[in-house]
A and B are shown apart, each in its own frame.
Chain A
Amino acid sequence: MADSTHPNPGPPALLCDNVVKLFRRGRGLKKKVVRALDGASLTIPQGELFGLLGPNGAGKTTLVRCIATLLIPDSGTIRLFGHDVFTDSLFCRQRIGLLTSGERTLYWKLSARDNLRFFAALYGLHGRDRDRRIDYLLELLGLREVANERLERYSSGMKQKVSLARALLHDPDILLLDEPTLGLDPQFGRFIRQFIKEELNRKQGKTILLTTHYMDEADELCDRIAFINRGKIVATRTPAEFKREIPHKEILEVRCLGQPDTTGLKHLDGIEQVQADFRDGITTLRLVMPKAEKVLSEVIELLRPQVRLLGIDVKEPTLEDVFIYMTGTSLGADTKEEIQ
């Protein structure tokens, strides 16, 4: 397949093979070993936008930090464009753009520009090239107006943009984005998602590893997704493939004006679950069942006398449904302390 952005596929952008990372905590009798990564393996070809989806404590950040050479795994190998991250770490660091989760990864007492200047120098940029690159990124991310203000005055969304600019300074080949929209208000979240997908992946052709515990984010952005749970990669598929994993289930979504009485629906043959969400005068019903077609007319008959119907849709199961189906854990769960 000839693809204009990657004429030469070469080695995979990232290859993790059986990565194990243990954390030892406490001393003596209270000593506890946490298996943060328990043999995680994945391969990301160049140019792919790859999502790592899993609940709190699944090991996402740990894997990112191992790849970024900030942690040394207990065993397993990690190769970046064919180079081992442990033995060839300077080379690998030069090709990685890292966006770590957590807010305080920049100097809050300095301006965006001063932060970027400092990190640019660490990545080997200097002189006019450096200034041009910084101006370009500030412009691209809509930060030019505020570039000379201290970060402590920024909102967390704007700080995240600066972090993203920092990750992009040296025009890296692969981006490691750890929960890039965590804690941002929806407007910034949307901007960052769009930026990642359209600008970075589509336009600039960058390979991206993105971690998240928001299934919508993974679904919307990623070419392929790996489910991670308790330090293991459970499965890797495209979002569409994942949704076909749950057999014999469909979701009928009905939107209507007002609030209908749903007790009748629950007694219809085949309906397993009814979720109702009432917002701004509109109710959205999600009915889970093996085959939507069979009950469609009965549902309409039941609701039509009560409310005005706005739309009816047969929906695929969400990634969250699949995640629960495959792991028995919900994405909203916190698995941090259960791991041994």
Chain B
Amino acid sequence: MNRLRIWWSKLRHYAGAVWAENIKEWKLELTYKADFARGLIDPVVYLLPYLLYGVALVGGRSSENLQRLVGTSDIITFITLGYVFIGFLNMALWAMGFSLRKEQFYGTLESVFAAPVPRWVFTMGMSLHSILHQLLMIAVQIVFILAVFSIRINPLGLLPTLLVIALMLVALYGIGMFMASFTLIFKQGWLVSEALSSILMILTPIAYPLAVLPAFMQQAALFVPTTYGILTARHFLMGEKISFTLNDALLRLALLSLLWVAFGLLVFALIERQTRRAGTLSHY
């Protein structure tokens, strides 16, 4: 009974800390309103010309080649869905490390690390903020795209898609922790982000079907959480043929989540401890 109460109050403390970190990030972000608005609109400005370019190349939004490869022909919906997941991947690779770097720059990282919450709680608040930010961005993009094109999806596919996305976000949290640890030790931690980002970007079948990748890359892609996100989302929403069942996808994603989260937490903890030994926590 007593132990239960302690757990409950601890849970409440940590949940409150996650939420407070999220709120604080929003408030900081919204102090620069113009930058914020630009950040929301920029991605659309990049995406739209590509969609139009694709339509021009194919001669319409329906591609027979795509139909042959994956069982669905609508390139607009295909690419838009892929693009949504690029956003998630980018977020995992950059957002958390960037937030930590910002704290170092403000000088607030030590104040935060002196507080009685484990590091993962704090970083979870950061990723909650970036997920919400990402969702807002997706909403804006979809509004813009809908103004030009119609998107044809199967509404029944939304539920399994959200399930897959939820699990994928757990794995991305692990990747985010892993990436963020580099910002603690390298002044140029972003170089690591850049390298990993390029690799993962190629491996993730965003604008193309998995089938166009060489065989070994197809294998490697199966270790990247966003692959399952994209493929199952497109499967349920627009009928892309996939080589695994929903259960397979969920099972593998669960496994990947476990691996990435364990790995991310471990690397972060080791590096964070190292910075407290070296006295470089507050350096930027």
Question: Which single member of B9, B20, B110 contacts A117 (CB below 8 Å)?
Answer: B20
| Chain B residues with CB under 8 A of A114 | 24, 27
Mask, A150-170, CB within 8 Å of B = 1, is 000000000000000010000
| Chain B residues with CB under 8 A of A119 | 111, 115
Is residue B155 contacting chain A, with contact meaning CB distance below 8 A?
A: no
B148 to chain A minimum Cβ distance, whole angstroms, is 36
| Chain A residues with CB under 8 A of B3 | none
Say yes or no: A104 contacts B108, CB within 8 Å.
yes
What is the interface of chain B mostly: helix, strand, loop, or mixed? helix
Say yes or no: B20 contacts A122, CB within 8 Å.
yes
User: Contacts A90-B116, A114-B24, A124-B13; is A107 near B106 (CB within 8 Å)?
Assistant: yes
A68 to chain B minimum Cβ distance, whole angstroms, is 5
| Chain A residues with CB under 8 A of B143 | none
Task: Tell me, in angstroms, the Cα distance from A338 to B231 when the chains sit together.
Answer: 62
Is residue A72 contacting chain B, with contact meaning CB distance below 8 A?
A: yes
Say yes or no: A70 contacts B276, CB within 8 Å.
yes
Say yes or no: B107 contacts A118, CB within 8 Å.
no
B163 to chain A minimum Cβ distance, whole angstroms, is 30
Mask, B71-89, CB within 8 Å of A = 1, is 0000000000000000000
| Chain A residues with CB under 8 A of B220 | none
B22 to chain A minimum Cβ distance, whole angstroms, is 10
**Nearest B residue to A169 by beta-carbon distance?**
B115
B residues 106-128 touching A (CB-CB < 8 Å): 106-108, 110-118, 122
| Chain B residues with CB under 8 A of A21 | 279
Interface centre among A100, A122, A123 (most CB of B within 10 A): A122
Is residue B152 contacting chain A, with contact meaning CB distance below 8 A?
A: no
| Chain A residues with CB under 8 A of B24 | 107, 110, 114, 118
Task: Mark A residues whose CB is within 8 Å of B.
Answer: 21, 23-24, 62, 65, 68-72, 90-91, 93-94, 96, 98, 100, 102-110, 114, 117-126, 166
23 A–B contacts from the bound complex (CB under 8 Å): A69-B114, A70-B281, A94-B116, A100-B110, A100-B111, A102-B107, A103-B107, A104-B108, A105-B110, A106-B108, A106-B111, A107-B108, A108-B106, A114-B27, A119-B115, A121-B20, A122-B17, A122-B117, A123-B115, A123-B116, A124-B9, A124-B17, A126-B13
Listed from nearest, the 4 A-B pairs whose CB atoms lie closest are: A121-B20, A104-B107, A122-B115, A124-B13
